[in-house]
Structure 1
Amino acid sequence: MTPLLNLHLSKPPVVSQVSYVNSLENLLKEKEESKRVDELEKQLQEDIQGREADCSDGDDENAGGDEDLSEEHRAFLKRFSVICHAIPDYHPGEDVFELSTSGKIFNQHNLDLRNFHFIPQNPIEKLLLSSGVTQQLSLVINGFLSSAYNCVLCPVPVLKWLFQVMSVHPDYCVSTQILDRLMDITLKNASISDEQSKPWIPSLADVSTVVVNMGVAFRSLFPLQHLQPSFNECDILSQMQETVSKQQPREDLTPAGPAFSSVPENNLINVVKFLGFCTTVIQGGYTDQEILLLLLLLFKISLEKQLKQIPLIDFQCLFIKLLINIKDWDTKMPELCLAVSELSSHHHNLLWLVQLVPSWIIRGREVRRRLSLVIISKLLKKHVEIPDDSDKQMSLLLEFLVYMKPSNLVRKMSQGLKQQNADEDHLDIELEQKAYYLIYILLHLVSEASFFDTVNSNQRQHLLKLCGALDKHIKCDIREDARLFYRTKVKDVVARIYGKWQDMIQTTRPTQGKLHDFWEPDS
């Protein structure tokens, strides 16, 4: 061996700075480690499944759960258990849609334009009437219909057919494309129409038809006996039967069944968008009574449980247009508030309806204030007439606030509910949770009822009295407890309302001749 070779062999190997060397030895080690991890994961999964099986087998034996605990342990758990979910963040909602009945009037397969008593006037209309259902829809989506009505009015049967297909077609893209065609044709109709030939917009009966076809019962849309439309469900069914009964059976049609497997939110939103577009482009399309019934219909639909997590911005935009279009506002607004307060029996649902009313227009704020007072009166069982004057409304709100004392509400709710064999402690806790839940909702309604764009000196005095009553009757009556989180949640609402009122007070001047306002005790 040469000296030079000895020199090279005697040198220590140079350590590479590379963090990973793709050698066979490293690959084998990684494979072994991965195999070990997989075995551990598999064993852990088997243990979890085994424990679940043991728990499911011993459900009857462990049904009590606390039977093996001593009295001392039970007392300890009872003393330190925390109640967190007595006041939910979201309203419970209602089951408005019955999806098993969806598509009972019509579906995308039996809506044939040839059955709409339509006489063709141009080549494209003749092409439509000579085509099948699928071909008709294809012609609409590809823009043939829009080009046919550039300079002439589109016939009402065609618009009504498009409106119904848009409401029932399960494909989101197809429904949205039909919405675009409807808007385009409606805008052209509005530009070329005159007083003798007003452009078509969906009537209350047309809207009710498509919503009932989505799975909402007719009685749910109009639940109030004194506010019923001029038509009923039989009228809708008989009218639509003339349209769809002539459809001949086809081999390629899908078997009859529900049109939707879940709440058709996309179709519903498209219907609402088109109504909002129509009320913007075409003024005076609905009477005051029709607007009232349409608002109640939309409010009722918004209570659907599956719509709780969806921002209903399009609903609110339509509300703005409908509220603005009411001509006899002073008469219809109190009637609307009274009717909306009857749409649900749950107080949290009623608060949701109040907060759904758009607050960025004057009429929306007026509805929110009066509707809040109506609901407070209903929940407190104080059946009084809501005055129109703002000062009298604030005085009435002060009276309502005094009745919201938590201890008084708990006492009233407990009267007549305790049974001899019932666990009184458990019953008291449940009643207190219900009472604080009710107070939580009432305080939000109080906040809505006390909101004004500008605060004058009289309203300032009312706000000072409201601050004193809120502090005396609500805040001082709540004894916070680390275990009873719902009390803290209510007290947090009290603090926020108090801060809001103080901000409103500070932004207005005191009464003439005074430098400061001081709280005066109740006489």
Structure 2
Amino acid sequence: MQMPRDSFPTDWSPPPVEFLNKPKKAPPAKKGPLEDLEKDPPDPNQKVELASLEELFWNMASPSQQAGTPEISSGSSQCYINNLDYLLQEKRMLVEKFSVSLQVISPVHPGETVFLPRRHPLPCFLDSSRLKPHSPLEELFLRSSLPEQLSFLHNGLLSNLYLHAADCPQPLLQWLFQLLTWPPETSSRAFGLLWDLSIDGLFRQPDEDMHFWCPSLQEVKEVFSSLGAYNPALYPQGPFQHSARVLESEASLDSQDPPQEVALDIKLNYIYKFLTLCLLVRPVSYTDASILDLMELLCRAGLDVGLCLLPKTDLQQLLLLLLERIQEWPGKLQPLCCALSWVSDHHHNLLALVQFFLDVTPRGRWVLLNHIPRDLSRI
């Protein structure tokens, strides 16, 4: 008769624990990540350690990217840690990869070739055919040659003749305005006398019968042409080169060196200041169409290569005053922006042109906010 087996064991001793006291085996030789993946493909249900994937990524990277990167251990005792030093170093690598050299974008706009240097100033002749002298000294001045008339200006004799006269002849004012394009020793005296004669005439004439001379748009264009400016529409092949005949006629005058950037800036500022005075005294001296043409001419002159680093204070004041003198506003805003957009083909020059208009008046802010419409194909 077989005895029934017990439901519970009679030996209640703990199981053997000798495997806990066995020495640890040396880890197998380290294999490359690619070799591990080819020979021993991981179980799809088993997760790949993050350190192995990170090491695989850096091994496949280019040598330039591996340089200077921290070494990450794939042992079981260490793992990938997003510490601050590593994140900063990774950010420096991205900055170096996508950085742009400062020489690519110049801090100064390239400018346009507007004014060409002249060896000699253009002769400015005084039209005295319809002038009647009131004194022997004035008769001598009107009948003198151009160098002798300039000596009258330099010696201050013209101030004695016309400063406190009852009526200043308009041809004299036109002649002085043309002399603003001459070298500084002549243009400075011409501007001083032109300014004094204009201011003196305001105090001597009643308000209801005030005669103040303002140069026309054509006269302003002729003055800019005398400074060496050329019209790209008239000369599409490039800047106009003076012929030998023109140089021969100019050689009869006192020879002067080509005007430097500072000398050109001084002459332009004389013109800007006198035009500002004209607009203050006679607000309706120019029509809206003439104002748009004048602003285009002034902005083109302000982009000259030699004037890029010089301040444009007088030009900015004149442009703001011209904006205020436009009668049909804001109807002329779009034609103005369209006209100014063709002043230059370079987007950097157009940005500098917009900065000529200060945001100190509502109309100036209108120009800045609306920008200049540009064709993207030209940029």
Q: Does 1:131 align with 2:144?
A: yes
Equivalent residue pairs, number: 278
Partner Cα separation in structure 2 for residue 308 and residue 176 of structure 1 = 23
Q: Does 1:166 align with 2:180?
A: yes
Q: Against the structure 1 CA distance between its residues 217 and 326, is the aligned structure 2 distance closer, same or farther, given a 3 Å change threshold?
A: same
Q: Against the structure 1 CA distance between its residues 250 and 357, is the aligned structure 2 distance closer, same or farther, given a 3 Å change threshold?
A: closer
Deviations 1:99-136 (CA, angstroms, capped at 9, x unpaired)? 25x75xx62xx3343x5534233224213124333332
Q: Against the structure 1 CA distance between its residues 380 and 119, is the aligned structure 2 distance closer, same or farther, given a 3 Å change threshold?
A: closer
Amino acid at match of 1:214: L
The structural deviation recorded for 1:89 is 1.2
Task: Name the SS of the counterpart of 1:178 in structure 2.
Answer: helix
Report the TM-score, using the length of structure 2 for normalisation: 0.63
% identity of equivalent residues: 33
Q: Does 1:155 align with 2:182?
A: no
The structure richer in helix per residue is 1
The structural deviation recorded for 1:214 is 1.4
Contact 2:131-2:169 within 8 A present in 1 as well: no
What is the CA RMSD across the aligned residues, in angstroms?
Answer: 3.8
Partner Cα separation in structure 2 for residue 140 and residue 339 of structure 1 = 39
Partner of 2:356: 356
Deviations 1:283-324 (CA, angstroms, capped at 9, x unpaired)? 321111111100000011111111111001000111122111
Q: Does 1:186 align with 2:210?
A: no
Partner Cα separation in structure 2 for residue 315 and residue 249 of structure 1 = 32
The structural deviation recorded for 1:166 is 1.8
Gaps of at least 5 residues in structure 1 are 1-70, 224-232, 234-244, 382-437, 439-523
Partner Cα separation in structure 2 for residue 87 and residue 286 of structure 1 = 39
Q: Does 1:347 align with 2:360?
A: no
Partner of 2:307: 307
Partner Cα separation in structure 1 for residue 107 and residue 128 of structure 2 = 48
Q: Against the structure 1 CA distance between its residues 127 and 317, is the aligned structure 2 distance closer, same or farther, given a 3 Å change threshold?
A: same
Q: Does 1:145 align with 2:145?
A: no
Gaps of at least 5 residues in structure 2 are 1-61, 68-95, 241-245
Q: Does 1:203 align with 2:216?
A: yes
Contact 2:179-2:186 within 8 A present in 1 as well: no
Q: Does 1:97 align with 2:110?
A: no
Structure with larger Rg: 2
Contact 2:180-2:270 within 8 A present in 1 as well: yes
Contact 2:187-2:267 within 8 A present in 1 as well: yes
Task: Name the SS of the counterpart of 2:368 in structure 1.
Answer: helix
Partner of 1:7: none
Contact 2:202-2:210 within 8 A present in 1 as well: no
Partner Cα separation in structure 2 for residue 79 and residue 329 of structure 1 = 50
Q: Against the structure 1 CA distance between its residues 265 and 116, is the aligned structure 2 distance closer, same or farther, given a 3 Å change threshold?
A: farther
Contact 1:96-1:304 within 8 A present in 2 as well: yes
Q: Does 1:177 align with 2:151?
A: no
Partner of 2:78: none
